[in-house]
Amino acid sequence: MKKYVLPLFGLLVVSMVALACAAPTPQIIEVPKEVVVEKLVIQTVEVVKEVAIEVIKEVVVTATPEPPAPVADQSAIVAAWQSGPHSDNYDLGKGPNTYCSRCHSPQNWDPTTRADRPPNCITCKFPTDEEVRMATTMEFVEEADWVGIGCDTCHELDESGNSSGKLAWLNTVTDEYEAVSAPTELCEKCHLTTSGIAATGGTGVTHAIALGGSAHRNWAGEWPQAARPQYCSDCHDPHSTEPKQCTDCHEAVLTSETHMKGFNQIMLSKVTCMACHDADEMEVGPHPDEEKGGVFATLVSSVSRSGEPVIEYVKSHSIQWQVACDRCHFADNTWDLPELTAGGETPESEG
């Protein structure tokens, strides 16, 4: 067996050599290498920053409106006004649209109206005329249309027609309100004696109220300052115009033994305070009209619109502390009063 193996092996080797020689020359195939190229890529990154914008909203806090204040009850004031001369001051002499209505009924007064001469109450009614003399240059204001001195003359009114109480004077020429600094300034818009005004024909009007000085001049400091009235309204109700009496403030005067010499309670009831304390030096005596009570007071003689002579009490504001007894107690007086000197003594005792 071994003799067959060796030749076979040799044959195999020869065959393999022959095959190897017959085989084509092997080619070297270059396998491409994988080249890694590093490429720099610049990438722009958009960075978005969130900017927080704080929006401040202005919060308007609307206050809850307060309920309107309750309107003060003005019924008592209206009633006082209705009872006084400010609300009802119509008479025949003031009807025409003259300077009378400028104060007595401002809403009826027409500043463009020209008055007849003389422009006063005599214009409308003469003593010799049987009927009312009608002014030819102005319209006559009927009594039903007469307004009087209403609330809006002295107070600005709100839309509901109520007054806040604040004082202001309605200028009927400009139809605007003028501020006043004090109640007395408001009163003086009408309650002043006028004279020599060319626009009214050169003659003024003497009103019943003569503001001849302070109501209390406080002679020699006899009265405490606290007792002195400061404004007209301290003594006069501005709506009813009802005045205070002297004893409303000076309560102890009539019970004082030193009030006056020869104090007589019976006679005192027939003498007004102004009969002694008036400083105008006007006539003093009992009113001749018995219906007036025959009380001693300061008197003034005048002529009424009907042309008749009249005697009226003087509404003076000139008050003095000292008195002169001989204003009434003069010699041969017609009232059978004992004669006294100015100081209250009998002439014999002074002699």
Helix and strand counts by DSSP (H, E) for the chain? 9, 8
pLDDT at 331: 92
Nearest to 72 by CA among 163, 186, 202, 177: 163
Q: What is the H or E stretch that residue 184 is in?
A: helix 183-187
C-alpha–C-alpha distance, residues 191 and 206, integer Å:
10
Amino acid at 235: C
Alpha-carbon torsion (21, 24, 28, 32), positive or negative: negative
Q: 183: helix, coil or strand?
A: helix
- Ranges of residues in the chain with a pLDDT under 50 are 23, 118-120, 123, 125-127, 195-206, 208-210, 212-213, 217-223, 262
For residue 63, which phi and psi values (nearest 5 degrees)? Answer: -65, 140
- The 10s digit of each residue's pLDDT in 122-150 is 545 444 555 555 566 667 777 888 888 88
pLDDT at 246: 82
Domain range annotation of the chain: 74-208, 245-351
Residue the block writes with tokens 């209390």: 216
Alpha-carbon torsion (328, 331, 336, 340), positive or negative: positive
Vertex 100: Cα angle to 87 and 93 (nearest 5) = 85
8 A C-beta contact, residue 153 and residue 106 = yes
pLDDT at 83: 87
Residue the block writes with tokens 């009030």: 259
Cα 110–chain centre separation? 24
